[in-house]
A and B are shown apart, each in its own frame.
Chain A
């Protein structure tokens, strides 16, 4: 077993809009270890989301190699990819992407249904997850009946539903004020201390600083990788 949870080599993503072709990623190499907490920063349009979507198996690269947990993702069938999205990866979107008509409970339930988790166990798991993100009293609220911070917590609970090893978050605090954003960041730190591999895209340099490693992207290429100030914590946790 390789130490890398995520191993990307020479990744290229080209978008075709009509006759215009645009290369959003121009050959990117990234390795992320198991249990690492990494942030991705860069100017708008630099290709952060494009990369994250490929890591999250929500999109496929034009070329390059992507190995997730020792599996060559580019060789998987659509159904295998669906199962990876369901069990191995928890994805948190900037825009939450909750089902608007469903309650918090029902939103968290969706990935559990796809994973065939049975009745009583499923119910208990949903209530535990919502309790964990501090929404025990909002179980039956719909997205329209919740604040942005609360919606993002539902989304995080949903991402955690099948105990994925990898959590990916694309600007999870982008739509939140600083206090609800702070709560979300705290949640990610907790998950990291539990051993999850976490990758976060952010515009917020303060947030980026609270990670182990910061990957800087510019114009579809990795500009540099710097250290955050979080090394100690994980070491402490491991020890």
Chain B
């Protein structure tokens, strides 16, 4: 039989059997749509989680000076313990579990001037490691503070992306331009690449100015950094890193290394771990729902195949009585299932993509992130449901085609 003869018969059958066509298509549509949506939202949440982690940097400890709360070796409690830049250097040299560390000097309300733009800003004095730890990635053609800046006490600065926009509203590269920080000219060597930051301890990075710690100390006499930022190795926990720093400083300042109050520590790995657990649980939940949806969809599709079994067997019987060959019967069934699967899967995917597209208008990204369409998942689910449809329908079709025509006609 020539293909167009197949096609003609095929489209007569399809267009006439609207209910059967519509039901099968809908089954595949529904399954594909819901799973694509599930995965899209799961993906959105995951990305949101990763991003908020990125804002602060990974495995970060922020350490503030504090006051002892326990007596230790005859020394009273209530002593103030402050860290110097030398202490940070000894942490860098001695600690095994700390891969990067930097002091952080902070000064608020510093007049910063660029042309007519004069505002009070926040200035941070840091080491070069700070940038990598805190995920302050310089935009193309710029850099963060380097060791030479520190050694030579250079008057250079790196600024946040929002601040850069504020100072240079007409665009044009701020790199190489000069800022007056408390009246002292600083050359801008770096601009932070835009990033998402959901947590902070001294304001958003987007508005900050970073200068070399050594330069900072020539500007303002401040013996102690406001805090220390440390990044622990990925294999260690936050607690292990914290107690290592505690024990290094406790030796020098003679306080109880187990005193939880001496140093204030913000262990960002703790909320990361919490988020990760939460997310893993949620991911499991999604996978569970996905599997259930898939099973429901599969049952739906095979039910439909079962419902039309009698009708189809009779149809096959009639066609064979009129001279249809076995290959025709099977080809018709296969192409029908394939077409419906394709159409259903495509529509399901399209519909899911549409929902995802209009989702931002609901203003919920803050909470669930931006859902992401995954074409691969869509194709996978469609193929899977197609196989189910094929499996549910092919055996009856094969059986009917193997019967003598009169048997197929009489089967029901």
Contacts and interface: CB of A to CB of B under 8 A. Distances in A.
Interface stretch (B196-204, B270-278, B400-408): B400-408
B326 interface: yes
Contacts of B251: none
A113 B323 CA distance: 10
Contacts of B326: 78-79, 82
A114 B406 contact: no
Interface in A96-136: 97-99, 101-102, 106, 109-111, 113-116
Interface string B310-323: 00000101111111
A23 interface: no
B12 interface: yes
B336 to A, nearest CB: 14
Interface residues of B, number: 26
Contacts of A110: 9, 318-319, 322
A99 B318 contact: yes
A59 interface: yes
Nearest to B327: A79
B289 to A, nearest CB: 38
Contact of B323 (A59, A97, A99, A115): A115
A86 B17 contact: no
B322 A86 contact: yes
Given A106-B12, A113-B9, A116-B5, A59 B324 contact: no
A110 B12 CA distance: 10
B394 to A, nearest CB: 18
Contacts of B404: 58-60
B8 to A, nearest CB: 6
B405 A113 contact: no
A58 B405 contact: yes
A113 B1 contact: yes
Given A60-B404, A106-B12, A113 B5 contact: yes
A91 interface: yes
Interface in A40-68: 53, 56, 58-60
Contacts of B318: 97-99, 110
Contacts of A162: 323
Contact of A79 (B9, B17, B325): B325
A158 interface: yes
B170 interface: no
Nearest to A53: B406
A97 B319 CA distance: 10
Interface string A57-96: 0111000000000000000001100110111000100000
Contacts of A116: 1-2, 5
B322 A158 contact: yes
B351 interface: no
A98 B8 CA distance: 18
Contacts of A102: 12-13, 16
B328 interface: yes
A82 B406 contact: no
A56 B8 CA distance: 27
A114 B328 contact: yes
Given A59-B404, A59-B406, A97 B12 contact: no
Contacts, number: 73
Contacts of B2: 116
Interface string B120-154: 00000000000000000000000000000000000
Given A59-B406, A110-B9, A116-B2, A83 B323 contact: yes
A71 to B, nearest CB: 16
B92 to A, nearest CB: 81
Given A59-B406, A114-B1, A114-B328, A91 B321 contact: yes
B18 to A, nearest CB: 9
Given A110-B9, A114-B323, A99 B328 contact: no
A95 to B, nearest CB: 8
Contacts of B9: 110, 113
Contacts of B8: 109, 113
Nearest to A60: B404
Interface in A141-175: 158, 162
B409 interface: yes
B16 A58 contact: no
- In this complex, the member of A58, A86, A87, A98 whose beta carbon has the largest number of chain B beta carbons within 10 angstroms is A58
A82 B328 CA distance: 11
A168 B317 CA distance: 17
A101 B319 CA distance: 13
A171 to B, nearest CB: 15
A158 B1 CA distance: 19
A166 to B, nearest CB: 14
B324 A114 contact: yes
Interface in B368-412: 404-407, 409
Contacts of B325: 78-79, 82, 114
A162 B407 CA distance: 24
Contacts of B405: 58-59, 85
Nearest to A161: B322
A58 B323 CA distance: 10
A99 B16 CA distance: 10
A10 B322 CA distance: 27
A109 B8 CA distance: 10
Given A86-B323, A97-B409, A99-B315, 13 more contacts: A58-B405, A60-B404, A85-B405, A97-B321, A101-B13, A109-B8, A110-B319, A111-B323, A113-B9, A115-B323, A116-B2, A116-B5, A162-B323
17 contacts: A58-B409, A59-B404, A59-B406, A82-B320, A82-B326, A99-B315, A106-B12, A109-B12, A110-B319, A111-B322, A113-B8, A113-B9, A114-B1, A114-B319, A114-B322, A115-B323, A158-B322
